[in-house]
Amino acid sequence: MFKFNKSIFLSVCLLALFSAKSVSASEVEVLHWWTSGGEAKAVAMLMQEFSDNGGVWTDMPVAGGGGDAAMTALRARALAGNPPAAVQLKGPAIQEWYEEGMLADISSVAQSEKWDDLLPKVIAEHMKCEGKYCAAPVNVHRVDWLWANAQVLNNANIDMPTNWDEFNAAAEKLQSMGIVPLAHGGQAWQDATIFEVVALGIGGANFFRKAFVELDSQTLTSATMIAVFDQMRKIRGYVDPNFSGRDWNLATAMVINGEAAFQIMGDWAKGEFVAAGKVAGKDFLCAAAPGNGFLYNVDSFAMFSVKGSDKIAGQKLLAKLIVGENFQKNFNLTKGSIPVRVGMSLDDFDSCARQSANDMATASATNSLLPSYAHGMALRGAPAGAITDTVTAHFNSKMSSQDAVKALAKAVANSQ
Ligand code: BGC
């Protein structure tokens, strides 16, 4: 009896010791905004891979496309002195948090995993804080895409438009047939997404760079910018009356269901088509939105300074897995994006992903690979917010294009 009790006691002790060790070896709390159908499937893959590698994941999803609500949640946690260990953060916002003294250095992982050899230089730069890696890149999303329901276009005898005049003609034809031409959700970041796509399409790469990277006031008030707002006014006429406040994925669902013909949205929209079992080139069509260039939007996780060896080990494990080949393939197949890691085979990817990779290479060679302003890659928070406020004020009122460019230049000047 005594012997029996003793061995049970020993096993219980061993089990407790073992599980305590495995539970606390690597853990990470992750703040992200991937909550739509396609996004949730994609992030579930990351969670699975993290736990397959012995990590313990604490999920902190904050719903809201584009991440505005997630950023508000982050500020609250940071103010309370308790930021999550890993945060979905992008572009110059990474540097802004670094300047607040909040980010950790993950150069040791970058070095052992050879990130300098595996990442395109322009993207690696976004991940560095004063030359040291402080964030891990997940993917490359392209923003300037036009999505369509194949059957709806076919029934209306419409080809995928290749310039804005063709787009307008298609939209007017659809409207006369009683079909909603453009699925859109009236949220500021979605208005901004369409605006930057139209700006690239009408103005071209140099115009885009001068306006939204350099914030050149002459460009902001130019005749070309007036033409961009004119096209925005036309687009306002192509959305259905219930667009206000609609989430982006519900707009994508309108295209999936054939309630609307087109959506202008980054390729996270493809994640929704794929999650609904739809096939690229058959059920839905993708085409670069009219214009020459490529607006990139790279998701990444910044690591915040946290205490505890288990949390630091969790951050390192997460960073390592994110740039790993397995994750880069499986996650991006689901998310709609393409791998950020160079040299990956795209054999299992669809035609939209392959086009994205080809167009990105061409854009890079022709100086038309551009950071998305609407998705936080080009500008710091204040000027980006000022532009978006003006765009949305114009979209939701009868403001003239002339007044809009004046308001734009003024808002940008005040933000600096
Ligand atoms: C992010 C995507 C996300 C989308 C909609 C973008 O800013 O980069 O990963 O799917 O917002 O929430």
Q: What is the pLDDT of residue 414?
A: 98
Mutate to test the pocket of ligand 1, among 267, 268, 335 (most ligand atoms within 8 A of CB): 268
Task: Please name the residue whose Cα sits nearest to atom 4 of ligand 1.
Answer: 66
Of ligand 1's atoms, which has the minimum distance to the CA of residue 33? Answer: 12
Of ligand 1's atoms, which has the minimum distance to the CA of residue 35? Answer: 12
Per-residue pLDDT tens over the stretch 300-329: 999 999 999 999 999 999 999 999 999 999
Mutate to test the pocket of ligand 1, among 89, 297, 335, 338 (most ligand atoms within 8 A of CB): 297
Q: Is 375 in the pocket of ligand 1 (CB under 6 A)?
A: yes
Q: What is the pLDDT of residue 10?
A: 52
Q: Is 270 in the pocket of ligand 1 (CB under 6 A)?
A: no
CA–centroid distance, residue 331 to ligand 1 (Å): 14
SS3 sequence of 170-184: HHHHHHHCCCEEECC
Task: Please name the residue whose Cα sits nearest to atom 9 of ligand 1.
Answer: 299
Instruction: Report the predicted TM-score, pTM, of the whole model to 2 decimal places.
Output: 0.94
CA–centroid distance, residue 33 to ligand 1 (Å): 8
Per-residue pLDDT tens over the stretch 162-213: 999 999 999 999 999 999 999 999 999 999 999 999 999 999 999 999 999 9
Q: Which two tokens stand for residue 194?
A: 């369409």
Q: What is the pLDDT of residue 9?
A: 52
CA–centroid distance, residue 124 to ligand 1 (Å): 19
Residue written as token pair 């395109």: 120
Q: Is 66 in the pocket of ligand 1 (CB under 6 A)?
A: yes
Residue 118 has pLDDT above 70, yes or no: yes
CA–centroid distance, residue 47 to ligand 1 (Å): 18
Q: What is the pLDDT of residue 17?
A: 47
Per-residue pLDDT tens over the stretch 217-257: 999 999 999 999 999 999 999 999 999 999 999 999 999 99
Of ligand 1's atoms, which has the minimum distance to the CA of residue 248? Answer: 5
Q: What is the pLDDT of residue 138?
A: 98
Of ligand 1's atoms, which has the minimum distance to the CA of residue 271? Answer: 10
Of ligand 1's atoms, which has the minimum distance to the CA of residue 38? Answer: 10
Mutate to test the pocket of ligand 1, among 33, 41, 189, 263 (most ligand atoms within 8 A of CB): 33
Q: What is the pLDDT of residue 409?
A: 98
